[in-house]
Amino acid sequence: MSDVNVAKGGITLAVIAAICTALVALTFALTRDRIVANEKAWLERNLLPALSGLSFDSGITESKLTVPAPHDLPGTDDAIIYRVYAADAPVAALFVVSARDGYSGPIRLLVGIDVNGAVTGVQVLEHRETPGLGDRVEAGKSDWVRQFDGRSLINPTPDGWAIKRDGGEFDQLTGASVTPRAIVNAVRQTLLYFAANEASVFAASEPAAQTERNAE
């Protein structure tokens, strides 16, 4: 390739790169608002079941607290806590954590805990467990996750916080015990964290501190 050709090729590439970038930028600008709205709606739809039976008057995603890794919650990435209040008194905290010991990649979990330390609901947000086996932990596929409702660190006692195969009180799933075991452990670890840090979980609620007031 002669020098002239190299220059010409470079210019062609640059022009096409600029056009393509403009195309992506335009699409991004056109879709941005819808995408943000979709993600907020998706999040609220997933958080809501963990709040059934509670009365609260604050927005669910308004009071978000990010706990940077490393922390004592399950998972090695940042954990997120959404706090819910009624007349400025804490009602419940929703933890978004990751169980690392699933069958196939991290399991993103939502664990709701009320001020008394009882589980208000557990939801599996994201996972890559085997279809037909481990994926029955999804709320839409079976009632498995409902067995956590109302549980706490004293119900069952610490040695009961395991699946039945391991001598605990929680059902496993037919053909899948790795996934349920990972989730039971993650829920228990979240409860332990909440018991040890309850004050700080709700304390950081004042507008200052590390709170992000719906920044995203």
Partner 1 sequence: MGIPFFERLKTGLWDENPGLVQLLGLCPLLAVTTTFVNGLGLGIATLTVLMASNALVSATRRWIQPQIRIPIYVLIIASLVTCIELVFKAWFPALDRSLGIFIPLIVTNCAIVARAEIFASRNPLGPSIVDGFVMGSGFALLLMVLGAFRELLGQGSLFAGLDMVLGGTALRGLVIADGGWLLAILPPGAFFSLALAIAAKNMLDRRRAKARREPVSTTELTR
Interface with partner 1 (CB under 8 A):
1, 5, 8-9, 12-13, 16-17, 20-21, 23-24, 27-28, 30-31, 34-35, 38-39, 42, 130-133, 140
| 70 versus 132: smaller Cβ distance to partner 1 | 132
Shortest distance, position 32 Cβ to partner 1, whole Å? 8
- Cα gap 43→64, rounded to integer Å: 12
Closest CA to 154 of 124, 204, 191, 201: 191
Least separation in angstroms between CB 4 and partner 1: 11
Residue among 35 and 203 whose Cβ is closer to partner 1: 35
Paired strand residues for 83: 63, 93
Look up residue 178 and give its two tokens: 């790795």
- In the complex, the smallest distance separating the C-beta of residue 131 from partner 1, rounded to whole angstroms, is 5
Query: Which CB atom, from 23 or from 154, has the smaller least distance to partner 1?
Result: 23
CA 179/CA 91 separation, integer angstroms? 30
Nearer to partner 1, 22 or 86 (CB): 22
Q: How far is the CB of 24 from partner 1 (least distance, A)?
A: 5
Min separation Cβ 143 and partner 1, Å:
15
Q: Choose among 115, 107, 125, 113: nearest CA to 39.
A: 125
Shortest Å, Cβ 46 to partner 1: 11
Which value, to the nearest 10 degrees, does the dihedral of the CA atoms of residues 69, 70, 76, 81 take?
-50
Q: Which is nearer to partner 1, 26 or 86 (CB)?
A: 26
Whether the Cβ atoms of residue 110 and residue 96 lie closer than 8 Å to each other: yes
Spell out the residues 6+ positions from residue 145 whose beta carbon is closer than 8 angstroms to its own.
121, 122, 123, 124, 137, 138, 139, 183
* Closer CB to partner 1, 9 or 59, in the complex: 9
Identify the helix (H) or strand (E) that includes residue 181.
helix 178-203
